[in-house]
Structure formats: structure tokens, C-alpha cells
């Protein structure tokens, strides 16, 4: 019924927006409304006048909606779809995009090479185009490759020697355009303007040329040497499409090479061409001007004329490019040209031309420029590209999506996948973890037997082996966790999670894309915070940065496994899964609170590409796991090792006091009695041995209690005693500010001197711990309420130093880092107290 009403409205020429179109229908874009930032972003993604849009389906919560345009799947919220006016497929006579061709074809001037045949080569391209795969193939690096936007969020650099050239490679973040809609796009553009690369490799997904070539048109305007890497070309052959590359090169003036980065096909041919272009020896290489039409070209020329009047104008950067950016009303370009002596006059001319064009054409200049670029692309492809005509069938990705993002199955399956991930991490990781634990205990006993009693033996056995070994045990769990995260990233499911969660995120005023950094936080909070650069809105970006630390990173996982495995052995997997869900819930509630108070800015539109599903390679998954394992081992050989030594030193000294001397005198008396006791007096001997063991434990407890770290622990104990924590837990939490794994190594050091824990795991030692002082003396420390409170506290309280530094770096101000420290620690105490009291009612 809805479909019939929709068709009737189309026939009656009523105003129809994309929001009104039902799933399964196709329409033609007529006009884009809304704010300039939205129009720019949406048009760069391919939503331009005259293009066909297919409506695929709604998200599980009916918002956002998935569309297909130019061969790509894009998700929009209903509120954004309502800003796009559409017409029927039949009523498309006046929507043809105009192809004005090109203007001048000039041979490039000879470029002076750097000394010693050195070259700077930069990779740019759309997200998921395969830039990093080619970068890894030529450099031998193992940068992570993911099937979703925002994997590369910083410049990755490497050096390689090729054909007697020393080549400096830079892999820039994936970007749809050089318009600064987000920090990563601004980063890419500034790098190209300031670094002056010898050659830019524009990596293009050859199976979707039309959308990918939009970025190429902007590189043409910048007038820099470019080589096109037509990546994933095997998919073009598989479809049966034909592409006249030679003719396309003649039209664009940019040499092109077929590549398949994931299989290392065409890499050498690509870099042969790079050197050829750098040496100006490619006969097809030339600079062209895209013809933007009579009126736009007139405006471009007027702005250029004003720029040329400046005697201090730096000729390295194209005046045509600056003119286009000024006519596009780009504020960042105002800063780029501020050095010009006549900068104000240039901006004044540009603004005058913007008003003239908009009054004449009844369109925003951003739309005029974008339409002209897509017109050039359409015209160039009409002359060079022919798609094999086949009846549209539901793709492999669409069939999977019907299940993974279905109305009734999407959200439950997401929770099920998370539960399987964490249950598997605990269950399958337990076996190799036990083997490592046995190995660590064996190494400790070997050194214990080889070394004579004294500080050196205690340092090696209790400090280094006890501290570092306690963390090493959890390496298998970390590896398994990253295996699952790698699968989510490589398959493209990570983007679907944002699609599923956008409606819920929208309710708290956040962007669905914010959920991708949150999920990335399961691995490590630092790269997750860096991944917020893909968010266009600064308010959303700051808010996402502040809530990411509540997501359980891999460093917290060992603490969960240790405590849950010791106190909740039967349901450890479910307890750990609950901690992850609690982290998500606390992040969302915190976002809701902050959005209502501090961050009240209007949210950015939800425009996100949904990449096709791809089968992950075992090689990629293993490489990702190995990379994270190396990071974990490196951390154990660095910060955790030194933290363990420092904790051991603080817990080992001073060695004596009056009580210890009394205990030692009594111990000497018992040892003398044991030597004098007749071997036949079995009961007397057993009593003396029991007394000796008790005295040794008292000496150990007294020494630790009065050590430097004991004094520190007793200083903070009044603050944490209401939650049920003793001073040892308090000290371990303080040391965890360095890195959350240090919580484990600190407990390992503090419990290592307990002789009753010999030849047993840290988990066993935790189960045996009892209060040594006060009214709770002799009762277990790690009760179920206390264990739950500890898990909650570790989940929420102050993040590690690296995360604090990342918050400072990405937010630009220390106040946000300090705010996170104070807020997180206060919230951790309050929630841990509530959990301990509520849990006490049940346990």
C-alpha cells in the first residue's frame, strides 16, 4: 500500500524526498538541501543530481536506511534522507550531468630530482581502496588492513630501495575527498600541500571507478605528479567489464597501472611507472584542466588573477586549486593563503564571485563544482568504460546483511557474537595459559634452587618471575581476543555494527560512527581514540574520546580473567562478558550526561559507507595476532618488568622492625628445639613445624605491612576500605595507572613471598588471601561482592598513562585529560561501592 501511494505521488509530480522511498525502489536525485557541510559531504559520496539511488533496507531499529549509489552501499538517517529531493526513473530528462571535457593539455616541465636518487612517494585513496595493502607489499611492513573506514588514522612511513632509488613511502588516511570535513581529511590535504611529494600514488578501487575518481579530480586541480593504481582489478575482470586504460590515461594525463594489492600483483610495474613519472619520461603524463563550464571558469580566472598580483605568492602550489577551494567556501584555504600580501583582496574577489554564481545558477557553488567534477568523471568513463549488462542479483554481501543487520536478528546476533568472543577468549585461552603458568612456576623453582637465600634470589624469583610471569600467563587470551577483533574488522562487520547501533547512539546525541572507535577500544584505547579523527563534528569527537576509556581494553582483560577465574570459576566467561557490556552501558550513560551538560552542539549527519563483506585471509588474521602478541611481549619486557622491580623493591625494604625481631627470636628458639627434639617425638615435631610456618608467615606479613609500599597502601586504605579492598589491592590499583597489566604484576609480587603459595598459581594465592589486621582479621579478602566491586573499579577508574596522553593529544587540551581522570576515578568508587553493597545482599 505504501509503495502504491509513493508511485502515485511520483506520477502527480509531488515533492518526494529520499525518506519517502520504500525498500526495493529506485529513484533519481533531483536536489540536495540542508547545511553546506552536509551538502558537501553527501555530494562527495556520490549523491549528485541525476544519479540513481536504490533503497535497500532499514536498520533493525528502522533508522538509519541503507542505500546503494555508484555501486557503493551508504547509510543515511531518515532526517538526512528527507533533505534529498528525488524523481522517478522515467522523469529524468532534465537531470543529465554536463560533460565539459578538459581545457589545456600541457607537457609537464622537467622536475629536478633529489640528490642521490631519493624520492618521496605518498599513497592517497578512498577508504577500503587497498592503499595499505600496496604500502605493505612494497615496504615489507605489516600495517593492519581493515575492511572499514578509519583503519589508517595517521601517516604510516617506511623506506625502501627500488631500482637504485631510495624511496620514502607515506601511507595517508583513507579519504573520499580533500575537502576538510574531518581532521583526517584535513591532515591528508595539508600533507600534500606542505610535504611536496615527488609522486602521489592515487589508489583506486577499480571495481567502483565513478566514486573513487572524485578524489582524482581534486588531485588534478592540485597540479601534482600522480600515478593511478587501479587496484582490485581482478574484480573488474571477474565482472566481465571492459576499461580502455590507454584512452583514460590520455584524457586525464595520469599514467595508470593495474594492481591487486592483496595478492601483490602489479606492484613492481606500479613503481616502475612511479620512477618513470618522477624522471618525466612517461609520454602520456601531462597536466590538464577540468573544464568547469563558462561561468565557473570565469570566476576561477578572476580569483587567480588576484592571487598572481601578490609578489610573495609561492608558485609550488597551484593558484587554480586555491581559487577553486575559495569558491568552494573553504575556510581552511583562507588560512593557507593568509601569507599573501593581498590575502584580504583575494578573499573579497572570491566572495563576490560566489554571490554572482549563486544568484545566476540558483545553486550553491559547492554543488556547482561537485556536479562539474562528476560530469567530467561521467564523460571520461562514457568514452572508456563499458559495464557488462547483467540482471541485478542480490550480492553475497546483501544476503549476509539480511541476517546480520536484519530487523529481528541484527542486534541479538551482535550480542551473541560478543558473547562468543569473550567466552572463547576465556575458555580456549585457559589451556595454553595453564601451560605457561606451569612453565613460569617451574622456572621460578629452578632459580629458587640454584640461587642462595638473599635479596638477589628474592628479586629474581618474587620480583621478576613472579611479576612478569603473572602477566605472561594471559598472552593466549590476548591473542584469541585480537583474532576475533581482526575477523570483525577484515570482514566488514565493524561498519555494520555502527549501522545497527546508530539509532541507539542517536538517542544519546552521538553518531553511529562513534561506535566503531568504541568497539576498537576492546583492543586498545589509544588507537581507538585516534580513530575519532574520522568524525566530522568536533563535539562528537571530544565526547567519543572521553567515553572510550570505559571500554574494556585488552590490558584489563587479564585482570578480569584472574579475578573471575579465581572467584567465579563456573561462570567466569559470563562475568567477563558482563564487564564488557557494563563498559558499553557506562559509556552510553556518560555520553548522555555530558551531551546534556557540556556538549550541546548539534550533531553531525550520519553518512557512512558500508563496504562489501570480504572473506578474511588466514595470513592477515595471523599477522594481526602476531603483531599484538609482539606488542604485549614488548610491554612485558619494558614497562611491566620495571614496574615489577620497583614494586618488589618498595615491598622488600625496610627488612626489620621490633615485631619482626621478636618473631625472628622466637623462630630461632623453635629451630633450636627442632634440632634437639628426639625423632620419635612425632607430635612435638609437628607442633614445632606448624609454629615455624606460622611465624614465617607473620614475619612476611609484618615486613610487607611496614614496607615502603605497605605504608603507601595504608595511606590510601581508608579511601578504599568501604568498598572492601585492602591495602594490597589499593597499591595494585595505583600501580595500574602505568599500565593495567601492572595490576597483575603487582599482585604477583605482593603474593609471591607467601610461602603457602609456593608451586601454585596467582589465582590460588588470591583464593587464600585473608585480612591480617582489624575486625575482619582472618576472613577472606576476595569475597564475591569484593571481587565484583574490584572488577567494576578496574573497568572504570583512571586509564593508563598512554591513554591520558592520547586524550591530551587528540583533544588539544590538558583539561579534558584531567577531567577524564577525576570523573572516571570518582565514578569508579561510587559504582564499586554500590556493587559491593548490592552484591552483599545476594552472596
* The three grid cell numbers given for residue 126, joined into one nine-digit string: 578512498
Q: What is the 3-state secondary structure (H, E, C) of 777-797?
A: CCCECCCHHHHHHHHHHHHHC
Per the model's pLDDT, the better-predicted residue between 262 and 123 turns out to be 123
Model-level pTM? 0.72
Cα 647 to Cα 324: distance, rounded to the nearest angstrom:
61
pLDDT band at 257 (very low <50, low <70, confident <90, very high): very high
Q: Average pLDDT of the chain? A: 83
Which segment of 171-180, 313-322, 769-778, 786-795 scores lowest on mean pLDDT? 769-778
Q: How many CA atoms lie within 13 A of 592 on its CB side?
A: 11
DSSP 706-755: TSHHHHHHHHHHHHHGGGT--HHHHHHHHHTTT-THHHHHHHHHHHHT-G
The C-alpha angle 410, 416, 417, rounded to 5 degrees, equals 90
How far the first Cα of the chain sits from its last, in Å, is 57
Cβ atoms 50, 30 nearer than 8 A = no
Question: Residue-wise over 538-574: b if at least 16 C-beta within 10 A, else e?
Answer: bbbbbbbbbbbbbbbbbbbbbbbbbbbbbbbeeebbe
Whether the pLDDT of residue 555 is over 70: the answer is yes
Map grid coordinates 526495493 to a residue. Answer: 24
pLDDT band at 1 (very low <50, low <70, confident <90, very high): very low
pLDDT band at 421 (very low <50, low <70, confident <90, very high): confident
Map grid coordinates 556547482 to a residue. Answer: 368
Q: How confident is the model at residue 75, as a pLDDT?
A: 82
pLDDT band at 757 (very low <50, low <70, confident <90, very high): very low
Q: Over the stretch 122-132, which tens digit does the pLDDT of each residue have?
A: 999 988 888 88
Beta-strand relationship, 26-32 and 52-58 = antiparallel
Q: Over the stretch 26-71, which tens digit does the pLDDT of each residue have?
A: 888 888 887 777 777 788 778 888 888 988 888 777 778 888 888 7
Cα 324 to Cα 307: distance, rounded to the nearest angstrom:
12
Q: How many CB atoms lie within 10 A of CB 813?
A: 11
Coil, strand, or helix at residue 804?
A: helix
Q: Over the stretch 343-394, which tens digit does the pLDDT of each residue have?
A: 899 999 999 999 999 999 888 898 889 889 988 998 999 899 998 776 555 5
pLDDT band at 756 (very low <50, low <70, confident <90, very high): very low
Q: How confident is the model at residue 284, as a pLDDT?
A: 84
Coil, strand, or helix at residue 424?
A: helix
In angstroms, the Cα distances linking 483 to 99, 434, 556 are: 48, 20, 17
Whether the pLDDT of residue 396 is over 70: the answer is no
Q: How confident is the model at residue 97, as a pLDDT?
A: 62
Cα 260 to Cα 206: distance, rounded to the nearest angstrom:
10
Whether the pLDDT of residue 111 is over 90: the answer is no
In angstroms, the Cα distances linking 321 to 291, 316, 374 are: 13, 11, 17
Cβ atoms 516, 502 nearer than 8 A = no
Cα 29 to Cα 571: distance, rounded to the nearest angstrom:
54
Coil, strand, or helix at residue 2?
A: helix
Give the full edge-to-edge strand order of the sheet including 165-171: 156-162, 165-171, 118-125, 199-205, 226-231, 256-258
Residue 188 burial (CB < 10 Å; 0-12/13-18/19+)? Answer: buried
Cβ atoms 621, 483 nearer than 8 A = yes
User: Is there a cis peptide before residue 654, judged by omega within 30 degrees of 0?
Assistant: yes
Which segment of 101-110, 586-595, 801-810 scores lowest on mean pLDDT? 101-110
Cα 489 to Cα 522: distance, rounded to the nearest angstrom:
12
Ranges 3-12, 249-258, 335-344, 512-521, most confident: 249-258
Strand segments, DSSP code E, in 41-143 are: 52-58, 65-69, 72-76, 84-87, 102-107, 118-125
Coil, strand, or helix at residue 656?
A: coil
Cα 671 to Cα 689: distance, rounded to the nearest angstrom:
9
In angstroms, the Cα distances linking 570 to 423, 462, 535, 767 are: 12, 30, 42, 14
Whether the pLDDT of residue 146 is over 50: the answer is no
180-204 average pLDDT score: 85
Q: How confident is the model at residue 227, as a pLDDT?
A: 95
Q: How many CB atoms lie within 10 A of CB 408?
A: 8
290-300 average pLDDT score: 90
Q: How many CA atoms lie within 13 A of 345 on its CB side?
A: 11
Q: Over the stretch 590-609, which tens digit does the pLDDT of each residue have?
A: 988 888 888 765 665 666 77
Closest by Cα among 215, 224, 165, 173 to 195 = 224
In percent, the amount of the chain with pLDDT more than 90 equals 22
pLDDT band at 752 (very low <50, low <70, confident <90, very high): confident
562-585 average pLDDT score: 90
Q: How confident is the model at residue 604, as a pLDDT?
A: 59
Q: Over the stretch 805-815, which tens digit does the pLDDT of each residue have?
A: 889 988 888 99
Q: How confident is the model at residue 94, as a pLDDT?
A: 57
In angstroms, the Cα distances linking 451 to 412, 513, 752 are: 56, 56, 16
Cα 103 to Cα 376: distance, rounded to the nearest angstrom:
12
Cβ atoms 214, 166 nearer than 8 A = no
Q: How confident is the model at residue 759, as a pLDDT?
A: 44
Q: How confident is the model at residue 830, as a pLDDT?
A: 96
Cα 671 to Cα 573: distance, rounded to the nearest angstrom:
47
Closest by Cα among 616, 552, 604, 617 to 578 = 552
Whether the pLDDT of residue 112 is over 60: the answer is no
Contacts of 468 (CB under 8 A, 6+ apart): 636, 640, 641, 644, 745
Whether the pLDDT of residue 717 is over 70: the answer is yes
DSSP 148-210: STTS--S-EEEEEEETTEEEEEEEPPP-S-SS-SSHHHHHHHHHHHHH--SEEEEEEEGGGHH
Coil, strand, or helix at residue 26?
A: strand
Q: What is the dihedral of CA 322, 327, 331, 337, to 10 degrees?
A: 30
Q: How confident is the model at residue 113, as a pLDDT?
A: 47
Coil, strand, or helix at residue 284?
A: coil
Whether the pLDDT of residue 693 is over 80: the answer is no
Coil, strand, or helix at residue 67?
A: strand
Whether the pLDDT of residue 754 is over 60: the answer is no
Q: How many CA atoms lie within 13 A of 549 on its CB side?
A: 32
623-647 average pLDDT score: 82
In percent, the amount of the chain with pLDDT more than 70 equals 87
Whether the pLDDT of residue 745 is over 70: the answer is yes
Cβ atoms 440, 465 nearer than 8 A = yes
Beta-strand relationship, 156-162 and 165-171 = antiparallel
Amino acid at each position: 500500500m505504501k509503495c502504491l501511494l509513493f508511485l502515485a505521488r511520483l506520477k502527480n509530480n509531488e515533492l518526494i524526498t529520499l525518506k519517502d522511498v520504500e525498500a526495493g525502489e529506485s529513484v533519481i536525485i533531483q536536489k540536495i538541501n540542508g547545511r553546506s557541510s552536509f551538502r558537501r559531504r553527501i555530494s562527495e559520496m556520490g549523491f549528485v543530481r541525476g544519479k540513481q539511488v536504490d533503497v535497500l533496507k532499514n536498520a533493525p531499529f528502522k533508522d538509519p536506511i541503507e542505500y546503494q549509489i555508484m555501486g557503493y552501499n551508504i547509510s543515511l538517517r531518515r532526517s538526512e534522507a528527507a533533505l534529498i529531493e528525488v524523481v522517478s526513473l522515467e522523469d529524468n530528462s532534465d537531470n543529465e550531468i554536463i560533460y565539459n571535457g578538459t581545457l589545456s593539455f600541457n607537457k609537464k616541465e622537467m622536475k629536478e630530482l633529489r640528490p642521490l636518487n631519493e624520492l618521496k612517494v605518498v599513497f592517497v585513496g578512498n577508504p577500503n581502496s587497498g592503499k595499505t595493502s600496496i604500502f605493505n607489499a612494497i615496504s615489507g611492513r605489516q600495517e593492519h588492513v581493515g575492511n572499514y573506514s578509519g583503519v589508517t588514522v595517521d601517516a604510516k612511513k617506511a623506506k625502501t630501495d627500488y631500482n637504485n632509488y631510495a624511496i620514502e613511502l607515506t601511507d595517508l588516511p583513507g579519504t573520499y575527498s580533500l575537502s576538510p570535513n574531518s581532521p583526517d581529511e584535513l591532515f591528508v590535504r595539508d600533507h600534500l600541500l606542505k610535504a611536496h611529494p615527488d609522486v602521489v600514488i592515487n589508489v583506486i578501487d577499480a571495481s567502483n571507478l565513478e566514486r573513487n575518481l572524485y578524489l582524482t579530480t581534486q588531485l588534478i586541480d592540485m597540479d601534482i605528479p600522480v600515478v593511478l593504481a587501479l587496484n582490485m582489478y581482478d574484480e573488474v575482470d571477474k565482472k566481465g567489464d571492459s576499461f580502455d586504460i590507454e584512452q583514460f590515461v590520455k584524457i586525464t594525463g595520469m599514467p595508470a597501472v593495474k594492481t591487486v594489492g592483496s595478492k601483490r600483483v602489479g606492484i613492481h610495474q606500479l613503481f616502475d611507472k612511479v620512477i618513470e613519472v618522477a624522471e618525466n619520461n612517461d609520454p602520456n603524463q601531462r597536466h590538464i584542466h577540468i573544464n568547469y563550464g563558462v561561468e565557473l571558469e570565469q570566476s576561477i580566472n578572476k580569483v587567480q588573477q588576484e592571487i598572481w598580483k601578490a609578489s610573495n605568492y609561492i608558485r609550488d602550489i597551484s593558484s587554480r586549486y586555491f581559487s577553486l577551494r575559495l569558491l568552494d567556501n573553504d575556510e581552511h584555504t583562507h588560512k593557507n593563503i593568509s601569507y599573501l600580501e593581498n590575502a584580504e583582496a583575494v578573499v573579497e574577489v572570491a566572495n563576490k564571485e560566489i554571490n554572482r554564481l549563486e544568484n545566476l545558477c540558483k545553486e550553491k557553488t559547492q554543488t556547482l563544482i561537485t556536479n562539474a567534477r562528476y560530469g567530467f568523471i561521467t564523460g571520461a568513463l562514457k568514452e572508456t568504460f563499458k559495464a557488462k549488462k547483467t540482471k541485478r542479483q542480490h550480492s553475497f554481501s546483501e544476503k549476509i546483511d539480511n541476517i546480520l543487520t536484519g530487523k529481528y536478528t541484527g542486534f541479538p546476533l551482535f550480542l551473541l557474537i560478543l558473547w562468543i568472543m569473550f567466552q572463547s577468549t576465556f575458555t580456549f585461552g585457559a589451556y595454553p595459559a595453564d601451560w605457561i603458568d606451569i612453565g613460569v612456576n617451574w622456572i621460578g623453582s629452578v632459580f629458587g634452587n640454584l640461587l642462595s637465600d638473599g635479596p638477589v634470589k628474592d628479586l629474581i624469583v618474587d620480583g621478576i618471575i613472579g611479576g612478569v610471569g603473572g602477566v605472561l600467563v594471559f598472552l593466549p587470551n590476548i591473542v584469541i581476543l585480537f583474532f576475533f577483533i581482526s575477523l570483525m574488522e577484515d570482514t566488514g562487520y565493524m561498519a555494520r555494527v555502527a549501522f545497527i547501533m546508530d539509532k541507539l547512539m542517536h538517542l544519546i546525541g552521538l553518531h553511529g560512527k562513534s561506535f566503531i572507535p568504541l568497539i576498537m577500544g576492546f583492543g586498545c584505547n589509544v588507537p581507538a581514540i585516534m580513530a575519532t579523527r574520522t568524525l566530522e563534528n568536533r563535539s562528537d569527537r571530544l565526547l567519543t574520546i572521553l567515553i572510550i576509556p570505559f571500554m574494556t581494553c585488552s590490558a584489563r582483560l587479564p585482570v578480569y580473567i584472574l579475578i573471575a577465574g579465581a572467584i567465579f570459576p563456573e561462570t567466569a566467561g559470563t562475568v567477563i562478558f558482563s564487564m564488557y557490556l557494563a563498559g558499553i552501558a557506562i559509556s552510553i550513560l556518560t555520553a548522555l550526561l555530558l551531551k546534556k551538560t557540556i556538549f550541546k552542539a548539534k550533531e553531525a549527519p550520519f553518512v557512512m559507507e558500508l563496504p562489501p563483506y570480504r572473506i578474511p585471509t588466514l595470513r592477515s588474521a595471523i599477522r594481526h595476532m602476531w603483531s599484538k602478541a609482539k606488542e604485549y611481549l614488548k610491554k612485558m619486557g619494558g614497562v611491566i618488568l620495571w614496574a615489577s622491580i620497583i614494586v618488589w623493591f618498595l615491598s622488600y625494604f625496610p627488612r626489620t622492625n621490633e615485631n619482626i625481631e621478636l618473631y625472628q627470636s622466637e623462630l630461632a628458639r623453635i629451630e633450636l628445639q627442632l634440632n634437639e627434639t628426639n625423632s620419635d617425638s612425632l607430635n612435638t615435631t609437628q607442633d614445632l613445624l606448624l609454629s615455624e610456618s606460622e611465624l614465617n608467615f607473620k614475619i612476611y606479613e609484618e615486613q610487607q605491612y611496614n614496607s615502603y609500599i605497605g605504608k603507601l597502601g595504608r595511606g590510601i586504605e581508608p579511601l578504599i576500605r568501604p568498598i572492601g579492598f585492602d591495602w594490597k589491592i589499593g597499591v595494585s590499583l595505583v600501580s595500574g595507572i602505568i599500565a593495567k597489566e601492572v595490576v597483575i604484576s603487582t599482585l604477583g609480587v605482593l603474593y609471591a613471598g607467601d610461602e603457602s603459595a609456593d608451586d601454585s598459581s596467582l589465582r590460588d594465592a588470591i583464593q587464600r588471601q585473608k585480612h591480617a589486621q582489624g575486625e575482619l582479621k582472618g576472613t577472606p579478602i576476595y569475597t564475591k561482592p569484593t571481587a565484583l566491586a574490584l572488577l567494576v573499579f578496574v573497568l572504570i577508574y583512571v586509564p593508563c598513562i598512554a591513554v591520558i596522553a592520547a586524550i591530551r593529544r587528540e583533544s588539544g587540551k590538558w583539561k579534558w585529560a584531567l577531567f577524564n581522570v577525576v570523573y572516571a576515578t570518582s565514578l569508579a568508587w561510587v559504582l564499586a561501592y554500590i556493587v559491593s553493597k548490592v552484591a552483599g545482599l545476594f552472596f
